[in-house]
Amino acid sequence: MTKETVLVTGACGFVGSHMVEHLLGKGYAVVASDHPRASLNGLKGRAPFVPIDLTKPETLEPLNQYSFQRVFHIAGLFDYTAPWQRLYEVNCLGTRNLLQALANNKSALKSVVVWSSGSVYGKSFRREPINENEPPQPINDYERSKLLGEQEALKFHQEQGLPVVVIRPAAIYGPRSRYGLAVPIFMIKKWLLRFIPGKGDFIGGYAHVDDIVGGAEFLSGRPEAVGQVFNISDDSNMSVGDSIMLTAKIMGAYMLPIHFPITPIKITAFIDQTVSRWLGRRPTLERDLIGYLDRDSWMDNTKLKGLGYQLKYPSLTKGLPEVIGWYKQQGWL
């Protein structure tokens, strides 16, 4: 049986490098792509690399030499401090540019899995998992740019017949992650988070990176998934406070038995971001990232599991000890 040729965009990043590993392990012929300035260390020469800049359509032309059966579009700008124009150019227009290039050479395509974000649902106080029928209500610029990107993808499916599948991942954790859900881990290490922010009772949404890439590959092989949106989240029903306490316990870090109001933390983050912008450095605290501490982001994975996908890491209690162990082995903690 001939190997299917697949494209992974954002292949040098956290999720992208795991996607490449997963697909190679499954026997696919993988073509990796990322920004020309991306570090290739994560690829380790295991797949041919095509440098592309999603904001410059002419750089996508080298992809025409391949006939892809599946595409995993992970590339995007995941940065809560980035200006709106840059987020829009990469996450929306960049997605449009890639999909147009694929639409021009789609004869062999079976599936194009496009990464959105579970955060597009916005703030919820319902205390029940959010399913795919919930109208997105993005709050910050990153969320808005991701929603526009997924809308572009679904438009290409409806108008040009591109076999698009949109996934909305929960907060992703796993080896090699340095951002997003990894931030609280490093903050605990630095004694910046040794208390419960606010009441700590909001329910978070979590997913191990292995289930993100595994779920994406699973959906790419299901024709009935085309044209649809899928949440990818684990089965955890854990509050933000409990997840922080679990993380600290695994790390062996002492936690102060106190709850600290969210508002002063947000004000501090705003000041830190403003000063950091003047100094030309990344802030220690990011206001939009702090915002996830006082909102429910619990996601319903019934639709994904209904097609037959089985989670490798159904809960934080199973996945987090392995990940923190990996961080310690690498000397990150």
Nearest to 69 by CA among 18, 29, 22: 29
Residue 250 backbone dihedrals phi, psi, to 5 degrees:
-65, -40
Instruction: Give the pLDDT band (50/70/90) at residue 60.
Output: very high
Q: Give residue 240's pLDDT.
A: 92
Instruction: Give the pLDDT band (50/70/90) at residue 2.
Output: low
- Report, as an integer, the average pLDDT of 27-33: 97
Q: What is the enclosing helix (H) or strand (E) of 169?
A: strand 164-169
* More confident of the two residues 262 and 109: 109
How far apart CA 146 and CA 125 sit, in angstroms, is: 22
Q: What is the largest CA-CA distance in the chain?
A: 60
- For the entire predicted model, the pTM comes to 0.94
Q: Give residue 126's pLDDT.
A: 66
Q: Give residue 124's pLDDT.
A: 66
* Window from 40-54, 80-94, 277-291, 317-331 with minimum mean pLDDT: 277-291
Q: Give residue 257's pLDDT.
A: 83
* More confident of the two residues 127 and 170: 170
| DSSP letter string, 276-293 | HHHHTS--SS-HHHHGGG
Q: What CATH number does the domain located at 5-177+205-236+298-314 have? A: 3.40.50.720
Q: What is the pLDDT of residues 239-291, one digit of tens each?
A: 999 999 999 999 999 998 899 888 888 888 889 888 888 888 888 888 888 88
